[in-house]
Structure formats: C-alpha cells, structure tokens
Structure 1
Amino acid sequence: MKEKVQKFGRALSSMVMPNISIFIAWGLITALFIPKGWLPNPTLNEIVAPMQRFLLPLLIAYSGGKMIYEHRGGIIGACFAIGIIAGTETPMFIGAMIAGPLGGYLMKKVDTLLDGHIPSGFEMLVNNFSAGILGAILACVGCLLIEPACVAITSALSYGVNWLVEHSLLPLTSILVEPAKILFLNNALNHGIFTPLGMEQVQETGKSIFFMIEANPGPGLGLLLAYFFFGKGEVKESSLSAMIIEFFGGIHEIYFPFVLMNPITLVGVILGGMSGVFINTLFHSGLVSAASPGSIIAILGMCAKDSYLGILLSILVAAAVSFAVNAILLKVFAKEGNLQEAQAKVNASKQASKGLAPAASSFVPADLKIVFACDAGMGSSAMGAANLTKKLKAAGIDITVPHSALNEVPLDTQIIVTQNSLVERAKARCPQAKIYPIQNFMASSEYDQIVHDLCGA
C-alpha cells in the first residue's frame, strides 16, 4: 500500500516539478500586476488568466504524457487536456493530471498495435495521422466527458477545503503532512495536491494558504535548532549547516535523517506544522503561487501583498513550537545510544577514509557516468551532486556529477548516488549500475567512501 501511494505521489509531482519555474513566473506577474498587486497594471494583468487557464495546465499535461511516452505521448496528453480546458472557465489542473498520462498511455498502445503492420514508405504518414486522429478523439472526449467529471471533483474538493477552513480544522492536515514528508512524499504533497488546490483558491481570492502547508521551513528549522542546542558531536555540527540549507536553500530533505534518528521528534515537527497553519488561518495569509524550494527567499518572493506579517509569523511560530517541543523530547526521550551510535558510524567511516586517503588516479576514466538522483531531480540531488563533485575534484578526479530525477537517469549510467529509500527504484531503472545509498546529505564520510572506492578501483 505504501509503495502504491508513493508511486502515485511521484507521478503527480513529476508532472508539476519540471514546470515549477513557470509557476513562479506566473506568481511574480500575479503579485505585481493584479489590481491588488504591488504595481497594478490593467494591460499586464491580462497575462494572468491565460497563463493560469491554458499555459500551466497544458505544461502539466505535456509533462505527464512525456513521462509515459516521451514527446509523442506529451503532445497527445496536451491535446487531450485542451478539450478539458476549453469546456470550463475553471483552471483544469486536475483534468491536466488525468489527461497527460492517459493520453501518453493511449498513444503508446496505438503505436504498439500498429508496430509491424505499416507498409514500407508509409511510416511518417501513418505515424502522423494515427497521432492526429487519436488527439482529435481525445480532445472531444475530454470536452464532453472528462471535463464535467473534473468540475464535479473540483467542486467536491473546494467544498471539503471550505468546510475545513470554516471549522478551523485545517491545521490538522499537518498530522498527515509531516510524517508523509519524512517518507520523502514532500514533493508529491506540495506539487501533486496542494499546488492544484492553491491555484484554484488563487483564482477566487488572489492568494492561497495551501502553498504554505508543506513549504513552511519553520518545523524543520525548530527541530535542527533543538539538535544544535541539545545534540552532541557530529550531530550538533551537522545541524548548523543543515539549518542554513533548510531555511535559505529550502531543501527540507536535509532534516529528515534527524527525525529518523529519534522518531519521537516527529511529534514536535507535527505540532510546529500545525502552529504554522493555524497562524496563516488566523491572519488569512497566503502565497500567490508555489514556493519551490521552500526557502524563505522563495516564500517572500511569492507572498501576497497583504500577507507578509502572517507568513513571517507562521514561520517563526512553527519554528518556536517545534524547537520547544523537540528540546523537551530530546532531553527526556532521546536514547543517548542513538546519538553515540550515529557519531561512531561517522567517525569510523572518517577514520577509514583517512587511512586510505584518495589521490589522483589514472584508473578513473574521464567518461565515467555518475549521476546523483532524487525523486524530483532538483533540491536534494542538486546539493548532493555539488558536494560529490567537490570531493572528486579535491581527490584529483576531474568529473562533474550531474543531478537528475530518478526516472530520467540515462540508462547507460554506471554509478547512481541516491537516497536510501530510492535504492530499489534506482536498481530497476539501471540494473547494471552500482548504487550508493545516501542517508545524510551533509555527511562527508558518505561521499568520502564513494571517492575512496573510485580511486581504489
């Protein structure tokens, strides 16, 4: 069940994440030029609605179709989506998430049926017309059948959201959100669920609280502060650099290992998240678009004009509650052996790497393909790839490690570095590749082991 939920979540986030920069572009235009924006401009305000109604859903649908069947699946997914979009004034993000993968899948099936049955010389004709006919059919089906169903789903979701808001129950979402984040479903939650809901709310009110439910860096910051003041050794040292990355870099994955080290701290993180949501509900504050990554810089950039006080307070209160609760939990419930064991493992690995210090090696081929992969191919993998590249160059190995979404890792990759929870997916993607699991993105010893293995090969 857990695996199916993760797979579904990955599919949702994989459609939104590649297009997040365009969501930010739309958010900036909205924040600046709508009637309640910083620089109201009736002409430039005309850009807002077409981007929200057409551009963003079509990009999502294209990404969903491409995920299933490359470019050919992408264009059919987008054609399917335009039929859904054309039938309503409501931005059809849910419809686009249905149309994209389904259109790509159907195009793939059609090509499979035609494979081996096309007369020589007629390949281009058949390929173009098969895609054109399927696209036309799906656009009509989308307009007549899928669009009414999506409108009903959207209305039901809106009713449910309004009910939670009216009964002051929205903070309870943190009970599900925070544990799901620790299971690396953060991108799936933020971009697969909260972003579409937020975009619907923006159309009505010009801002949305949903963009801050997962993105708020306060709960993680509070946890890391608790570890900084009450942790010891390597854990204490790692927490300081992790705080900077969490708050300014917006990479939430950096604090997940700290929760897993003492799972009781999840209580503090949940209460911190609930506090942040409560403050935003109290102040009616929100963002105009998705803040990705969840950095204070991105959040302030996407903040609605009238929401700065509420947003800043929600981060501060979330951090304070998380810190206070986790400080008590670490003092009372944290097993000292856990911290000592973590330190021992780090120190042992460090000593081993010192005893076999890597040096420039002619055994490492210049064309060696190493990829640092994560679920979305952006936040944690970008940071990990930069750290590993620095380690390799310091050892005299002139290789730049790229970062990638796991489902886009080149099939001829020889070494994949990824999170512990993604090892099986990495093996399925590239069975021949050597997999290095990473638990702590800041633990230099884990990167040192990779460098040592390469130099000792």
Structure 2
Amino acid sequence: MKNAISRFGKFLSGMVMPNIGAFIAWGFLTALFIEKGWFPNERLSSMVSPMLSYLLPILIAGQGGYMVAKERGRVIACIAVIGCICGSDYTMLMGAMVMGPLAGWVIKQFDNRVEEHIPAGFEMLVHNFSIGILGMLLAILGYYVIGPFMTAILTVLTAGVDFLVSHSLLPLVSIFIEPAKVLFLNNAINHGIFNPIGVSQAAEAGRSIMYMLETNPGPGLGVLLAYCLFCKDKTTRQSAPGAVVIHLLGGIHEIYFPYILMNPVIILAPIAGNFCAILFYTMTGTGLSGPASPGSIIAYMAMAPRDSVLTVFIGVVLAAAVSFVLSSVILKATSGNAQNLSEAQAKMQDMKAQAKGEAPAAIESAPVNAGDVHKIVFSCDAGMGSSAMGATKFHNRIKAERPELIVTNSSVDNVPADADIVVCQRVLTERARRSAPQAQIITIDNFLADPNLDTLYQTLTAAPAAKAAAPETTDELAAQDQGLVIQAEDIQLGLPSVDKETAIRAAGALLAKRGYVDADYADAMVEREKLVTTYMGMGVAIPHGTSEKKSTVKKSGVVMLQYPDGVDFGDEKAYLIFGIAGVGDAHLDLLAHVCEVLEDEEALEMMKKTPDIKFVLTHLQ
C-alpha cells in the first residue's frame, strides 16, 4: 500500500513540478495585484482568474499526457481537460491530474492498435483526426463525469478542512505530515490534496494555509541546528551546517531525513514544531498566496501576502525553535544509541528505492571514452534539487579543461535522448538505464563528492598532450612500482592513540620523510578522508591523497603506522594505518597488495599489537 501511494505521489509530482514556475507566476500576481495585495491593480489582477481556471489545469494535464504518450499525449490531454474545467465551478487541478494521464493512455492505446493498419499516405490524416475526435469525446466525458466527480471530492475534502479549522484540529495533521515526509509520501499528500484545496481557497480569499502545512522549513531547520551544536559524532556535526544551507535556502527538505533516521525518536521534534506553527497560523488567519515550492525560506516568504509577512516569518521561527529544543533534548538523551550518518543515508536511499518498488542497485560505473562525450546529465528523482547542485558543481569543476562539454540535470525518468553520460545515485540505476539506454551510467552515493565523480573528472580531462609532456618521467616512476617492498624505515610501531586527522597527517609526514611525496601531500590525504572514509574494516585504514594532488607524488610507496590502542574512524577503530602514495593509478595495485598480505587474520591480530618489527616485515614483504 505504501509503495502504491508513493508511486502515485511520484507521478503527481512529475505532473506538477515542471509547472511550478507557472504556479509561482500566478502566486505573485495574486500577492501583488489583487485588492488586498502589495500594489492593488484592477487591470493586472484580471489575469489571476484565467491563469487559475485555465492555464494551470491545462499545463498539468498536458504534462500528464506527455508522461504517458509524449507529444500526442500532451495535445489530447489539453483538449480533454477543457471539459473538466467547464463542467465544474472548482479549479480543476485534480481533474487535470486525472484527465491528463487518462487522455495520454487512450491515445497511446489507439496508436498501438492502428499502427500497422494505416494505409500509406494516410498517416497524417489518421493521426490528426484521432486526436481531434478522441479529444472531443474525452472532453465530453470530463464535462459530464470527471468534472462533477472531482467537484464532489473537493467539496468533501474542503468540508473536512473547514471542520478541522473550525474545531482547532488542523495542527493535528502534523502528526501525519512529518513522518510521511521521511517516508517519501509527501508528494502524494502535498500535490494530491493540499495544493488543490489551497488553490480553491486562495482563489476566494487570496491566501490559503494549505500551502504552509508541508513546506514550512522550520521543523527540519530545528533538527539540523540541534545536530550542529549537540551531536557527539564529529563527522555528523561537521556535516550539519552544510545541510542547514541546502535545506533552508535551497528548499531540499530531503537533506534532513537521514538525521532523523539516525535517531528515529527525533521525529517527535519536527512534529511538535510543525504543530505549533500550524496552530499559530490558524489562530492568526495566516496563509500563502501560492504554493511555496521548493520549500525554501525564500519561496515561503515570497508567497506571503502583504499583511502577513511578519506572521509567516514568526511561524517559521516558532517551528524551528520548538523543533530545536526537543531535538537537542533527545540528542543528549539518546545519542549513544544513534546510527552514524553514512548508515542513515544508506538506509534512506534503500527506503526511497523500496518506496518506488525498486531494489537497491549495486554501485557500478560504465567505461567512459572521453572523446565521445559531449553531454553529461546529472539525474535524481525529481530533477529539481540534488541533481541540479551536482551538475552545477561538476560543471564549475570541469569547465576550464573541457569548456565544450554540456553538463545539465534532469529527472531520472526524463533524461534527454542526446545524453552521453548519466550520473545518478545507485538506487536509481535501473531507472536511468530504462530512461537513457544509449548513455553510459555513472553511479554515485553523493552528488557533491564521490570517488566515481573524481574518476569521471580524471577520465574526461586526461589529455594526450599532457601525457606526452613528460613520458620519460612517467615511465620511470611507474617502473619503480615493480617489486615494491615495504622497508623497516616505512614502519612505526607502538604509537600512542591520537585523533583521526592527526594519525592521517602522521602517515603523510612519514611518506614525505621517506621521499615518496611532497610535504603538502598530507593535506590531500585529509581532504580525501572527508570525501569517503578510508577505513576498510578489520581494524585497518588506508588513507591516501586526492587525485588532484597526484603531482605531489614522487614515487610509489607504502608506510604503516601501528596504534595498539586504536584510532577512532567514526564508530570503528583502526589499529593499522597504511599511508599510500601511488603514481597514476598505481595506488590501486598497492591497495590490492596490502589486502592480499592481510588475509591471514591471526597474523593481522598480532600485527596490531606486536613490538617486533621483524614479525611485521615478514608478513608484509
């Protein structure tokens, strides 16, 4: 049931999200020019009603038809939805969400059945008349059946909302909204229920509280601020400020879901925060002029009517404050039982995949031929948030070396046909393959910093001229990898426990002392650790530098630092830290070599404690 609702919500989102700009335009016209707006203007306000009654439903229906049957689906859906619009006194957003996909399905079925039976030369005649006739029939169906049926549904839903408001019960919806968001069911309730009712209310009163129920950034902000200040895990605490910016300004609420999954009892905090905000908005009669999407503080405040700017802002602050206080208390009381952030992010991705009826996909990266690549598309579920950020960051990174490359973003289900490479999260791999069978798929865990993105960057910027500039040096250094053997001078035993960064820098310092790298290579090792942990399990970590700092490697080498009492790498301890310096991709061979010599678990346990350097050398050489 949850999977079906989530897929339904995803489809609704796919119809609405590409048209959010039109909603915003209508919202601004309402906020600015109606009688109670910032700058009342009777002539300009005359555009409000036609946009609401005709433009928005037609756009939504057209997008729904396109998602089912491409361009022919868009045209027939726009024809058909006119019947719903004219057959009801309500704004037919819900009617458009039904009629659009239905019309697309009808024309798709017709095309499939007659495709091989159209006489040569009659294709255009059949195609045009089929859309015209079927569109007319669907418009009649919309006028007499779908429009009135949706009117009845909206009447019931509106009456329910009025009952909740009149009995001061509306804040109770927060009990369902916040858990639904974390379970990725928010699209179903927001686009399927709240926005259609909100549009009807805003058409009459110029504002609606329904736009504020799910999009308020305050509840999530409070959770993230609590993690910034009171989380005991250093890695998680350091990640929270960046999440605050993305959540509050970017409006990507998904960024805070892992922080709740780390410690599920914290869900009580945003529930309480949203409850207080909704109660405050109900008591003050506050509403927004149009939908605030995405749920950014910028969009939220932009949709505030002239006489409600302060109360809208106070509601956000109130929600954040309540959520922050409760989150802080819960964090202090339960932090010892919390998961780490990486586990929570993985759990969130698996939940997101399961909510769509998919199995989590394994990480894979297709081979990339740099000369054949002209367009790279970053794709996420909706194509509005994380993929846009990822595409922007990667474009800024690569534009100096490959200015001719097109780097853009899209939803994973609507990848452009001319995409050469699609970059997506691992749980979206199968959908990316179906959407872009012609493209090479690069799967990642994080759009902003991922080893596969580093590899893609290196592949796309590897220029033959650069390789030819110093062939002798490259060949000479690569030759030194043959028969690489760790020496006694590469090993330090019995070191006192330190923090992770200090241990990584100590490994970098030893690599520099042994002549393998320049002194600033240690900085690159620390930066690499921030991207993805180099802890491998079994008490072993293998810190190494970023690909950008390979020029600081003089020759390949491995050093080993032994910490008998361990060094904290997140929730795990590393007792053996192997510092790696590799020429080109030589460090991959070095890592494989280290793994091979550590297969003897009994010897590995001895190596973690022994003061005998000969024992260590015997097992590493």
Calculate the TM-score normalised by the size of structure 2. Answer: 0.66
Instruction: Note if contact 1:217-1:315 (Cα within 8 Å) is conserved in structure 2.
Output: yes
Instruction: Supply the AA of the counterpart residue of 1:183.
Output: L
Tell me the amino acid that sits aligned with residue 220 of structure 1. Answer: G
Query: Which residue is equivalent to 1:449?
Result: 452
Tell me how far 1:388 sits from its aligned partner: 3.4
User: How far does the alpha carbon of each residue in 1:33-85 deviate from its partner, in whole angstroms, 9 at most, with x for none?
Assistant: 11111111111111111111111111111111011001110111111110110
Larger Rg: 2
Alpha-carbon spacing, 1:193–1:421, altered in 2? closer, same or farther (3 Å): farther
Greater percentage in helix: 1
Q: Return closer, same or farther for 1:259/1:425 CA change in 2, 3 Å cut-off.
A: farther
Contact 1:285 1:308 in 2 (8 A): no
Query: Which residue in 2 is equivalent to 1:378?
Result: 384
- Counterparts of 1:231-246 in structure 2, within 5 Å, are 231=231, 232-246=233-247
How many angstroms does 1:380 deviate by? 2.2
SS in 1 for 2:291: coil
* 1:367 match: 373
In 2 relative to 1, CA 15–340 (structure 1 residues): closer, same or farther, beyond 3 Å?
closer
Q: Would you say the 8 A contact 1:366–1:398 is kept in 2? A: no
Alignment of 1:12-51 (within 5 A): 12-51=12-51
Take 1:186 and 1:391, find their aligned partners in 2: how far apart are those partners?
Answer: 34
Q: C-alpha displacement at 1:240, in angstroms?
A: 0.9
1:282-302 superposed Cα distances (whole Å, 9 cap, x missing partner): 211110001112111111111
Question: 1:96-140: CA deviations, max 9, x gaps?
Answer: 111100001001111111111111111111111111110111111
Residue of structure 1 equivalent to 2:280: 279
> How far apart, CA to CA, are the structure 2 residues paired with 1:98 and 1:13?
13
SS of 1:404's equivalent in the other structure is strand
Match in the other structure for 1:401: 407
For 1:341 and 1:85, the matched residues in 2 are separated by 48
Tell whether the 8 Å contact from 2:429 to 2:441 is kept in structure 1 after alignment. Answer: no
Seq. identity, %:
47
Aligned to 1:352: none
Matched residues in 2 for 1:193 and 1:421: separation?
28
Q: 1:327 to 1:49 in 2, by over 3 A?
A: same
Kept in 1: contact 2:262–2:341 (CA 8 A): no
User: Which digits, 9 at most, give the CA deviation of each residue in 1:357-401, with x for residues without a partner?
Assistant: xxxx99633516542222221122211222333455589797443
Query: 2-side partners of 1:53 and 1:396: how far apart?
Result: 47
Structure 1 counterpart of 2:310? 309
Is the Cα contact below 8 Å between 2:170 and 2:279 reproduced in 1? yes
* 3-state SS in 2 of match to 1:56: helix
**In 1, are the aligned partners of 2:259 and 2:341 still within 8 Å (CA)?**
no
**Is the contact between residue 291 and residue 299 of structure 1 (CA under 8 Å) also seen in structure 2?**
yes
Amino acid at match of 1:418: C
- Change in 2 beyond 3 A, CA 1:302/1:362: closer
CA contact (8 A) 1:392 1:398 kept: no
1:292 aligned residue: 293
* 1:221 corresponding residue in structure 2: 221
Q: Give per-residue Cα distances to partners, 1:296-351, cap 9 Å, x unaligned.
A: 111111111222222111101110111111111111112367338769x9xxxxxx
Once residues 368 and 423 of structure 2 are traced to their aligned partners in structure 1, the CA distance between those partners, rounded to angstroms, is 22
For residues 28 and 333 of structure 1, do their structure 2 counterparts lie closer, same or farther at Cα, with a shift above 3 Å needed? same
Would the aligned equivalents of 2:442 and 2:452 in 1 still touch at CA under 8 Å? no
> Deviations 1:224-263 (Å, cap 9, x if unpaired)?
1001001232222221121112112212122222222222
Q: Shift of the alpha carbon at 1:452?
A: 2.5
Contact 2:374 2:406 in 1 (8 A): no
Counterpart-to-counterpart distance in 1, 2:136 and 2:79: 8
Alignment match, 1:418: 424
- 3-state SS of paired residue (2:423): strand
Q: How many residues align?
A: 437
Equivalent-residue separation in structure 1 for 2:226 and 2:430 (angstroms)? 33
Write out aligned runs for 1:324-403 (5 A): 324-335=325-336, 338-339=339-340, 364-365=370-371, 367=373, 369-392=375-398, 399-403=405-409
What amino acid is aligned across from residue 130 of structure 1 in structure 2? Answer: S
Find the aligned partners of 2:343 and 2:329 in 1 and give their Cα distance: 20
Asked whether the 8 Å contact 1:378–1:405 carries over to 2, the reply is: yes
Give the 3-state SS of the residue equivalent to 1:207 in structure 2: coil
Q: 1:419 to 1:76 in 2, by over 3 A?
A: same
Q: Distance in 1 between matches of 2:239 and 2:161?
A: 39
The aligned residue for residue 119 of structure 1 is 119
Structure 1 residues 320 and 30: alpha-carbon distance in aligned structure 2, compared to 1, 3 A threshold:
same
Q: Larger relative contact order (C-alpha < 8 A, sep ≥ 6)?
A: 1
User: Which residue of 2 is the match for residue 172 of structure 1?
Assistant: 172
Q: Supply the AA of the counterpart residue of 2:206.
A: G
* Structure 1 Cα separation of the partners of residues 39 and 341 of structure 2: 55
Q: What is the CA-CA distance between 1:412 and the residue it aligns to?
A: 6.7
Question: Does the Cα contact within 8 Å between 2:443 and 2:452 map onto a contact in 1?
Answer: no
CA distance in structure 2 between the aligned counterparts of 1:306 and 1:297, rounded to whole angstroms: 17
Find 2:443's aligned residue among 436, 441, 445. 436
Change (3 A) 1:42 1:215: same
Query: For residue 101 of structure 1, what is the aligned residue in structure 2?
Result: 101
Question: In the alignment, is the contact (CA less than 8 A) between 1:228 and 1:237 conserved in 2?
Answer: yes
SS in structure 1 at match of 2:12: helix
Task: Specify whether residues 397 and 27 from structure 1 end up closer, same or farther in structure 2 by C-alpha distance, changes over 3 A only.
Answer: closer
Structure 1 distance, partners of 2:12, 2:284, is 30
Return 90-99 or 402-411, whichever deviates more: 402-411
Distance 2:57 2:431 in 1: 28
Give the Cα separation in 1 of the matches to 2:70 and 2:369: 36
Does the CA contact (< 8 Å) of 2:194 and 2:210 recur in 1?
Answer: yes
The correspondence of residues 142-221 of structure 1 with structure 2, limited to 5 A, is 142-221=142-221
Seen in structure 2, the aligned counterparts of structure 1 residues 264 and 405 have a Cα distance that, compared at 3 Å, is same
Shift of 1:414: 5.6
CA RMSD in angstroms comes to 2.6
1:125-144 equivalences in 2 (<5 Å): 125-144=125-144
In 2, Cα distance between the equivalents of 1:339 and 1:49?
51
**Secondary structure of the structure 2 residue equivalent to 1:38:** coil
1:70 alignment partner in structure 2? 70
Gaps of 5+ in 2: 347-366, 460-584, 586-621
In structure 1, how many angstroms separate the alpha carbons of the residues matched to 2:341 and 2:286? 42
Tell me which residue corresponds to 1:249. 250
SS in 2 for 1:36: coil
Q: Larger % of strand: which?
A: 2
Question: Letter of the aligned partner of 2:251 in structure 1?
Answer: G
Residue 429 of structure 1, CA deviation: 3.4
Matched, 1:84 2:84: yes
Q: What is the match of residue 353 of structure 1?
A: none
Partner of 2:504: none
CA distance in 2, matches of 1:340, 1:253: 14
